[in-house]
Amino acid sequence: MERAITSVDGFEKVFKKMQQQVILRGQSQSTLNNYIRRIALISLHFGKLPELISDDELNEYLTSLALDKRSPSRSSFKHAVYGLRYYFRLIGHSKRAVNLPSLRKETKLPVILNRSELRALFAAPVLLKHRIVLTLIYSAGLRGQEAINLKISDIDFERKTIHIRQSKYKKDRIVPLSDYIALGLKKYLEAEHPYGYLFNGKEFDGRYSIKGLSWVMREALKRTSIQKDVNLHSLRHSYATHLLEDGVNIVTLKELLGHAQITTTIIYLHVAQLSVVLAHSPLDTLYKDVL
């Protein structure tokens, strides 16, 4: 982005405008970063702002990304289209936003770690801090950003709750604190003495970074025999699936996960191993203990 600001005429003004709009619309900083990074790369590639690039040039650029089957490039194609749509609407070129390629929504099911794999994963890290952060993410179904945003004061050991503040969709939520992780957290706090944030790292404000968390997950996986294609977010997927299998209803799960729509939560019904209840009349169960 810095290179685009110094090399592309007018990009600095665009950058500031996008920053302003993300704040005003209450969108996440990660959303801005994805969009602005992609606009910066496109602007650097052509040496000018997107509105000065012809449709034919843009289509050729997007086609080269779409034809590259490598995972990073496929993700780049998606972010390029979303970023350009956002940008064109922002500057009042809605027609060009509509004319961009449509993205077919993928219907991949989340990959779930079973309970044996999770136990092996949580035992793998050498450092207590790393064992605790991975276990905590699974225990409360946290997004990575939520984990690094946690402050020590957000953990209430007496009420057995975790307060997740201003997460996705700018919503707060409270989730149960596991008795098991509570013991581990107390041990961690006594040993590490973190300040402010629950997990300290090298970010400017003292927080751990998302990259750091992802590294912890990758290194832990290397020390196990797990062959599944999983990442940090798979811990949240596993949390949701295991709660459904433990009997938690889908509406409660939606609130625990902080989803805006129930349709987002329903995907876990496709991977959860739920016991089948045969169709019957409730009248039979009403008098079951009487007859």
Amino acid making up residue 31: T
CA distance 206 to 226: 32
Q: How far apart are CA 146 and CA 152, in angstroms?
A: 13
Say if CB 143 and CB 168 are below 8 A apart: yes
Dist. CA 63–CA 22, nearest whole Å: 28
Q: For residues 265 and 141, what is the distance between their CA atoms, to the nearest angstrom?
A: 13
Active-site positions read 143, 168, 233, 236, 259, 268
Rg (C-alpha) for the chain, rounded Å, is 23
Residue 181: closest CA among 145, 142, 143, 132: 132
Amino acid at 89: R
DSSP structure class, residue 152: G
User: 237-240 long-range contacts, Cβ below 8 Å, gap at least 24?
Assistant: 237/110, 237/111, 237/112, 237/268, 237/271, 238/112, 238/113, 238/118, 238/138, 239/138, 239/139, 239/140, 239/141, 240/141, 240/265, 240/268
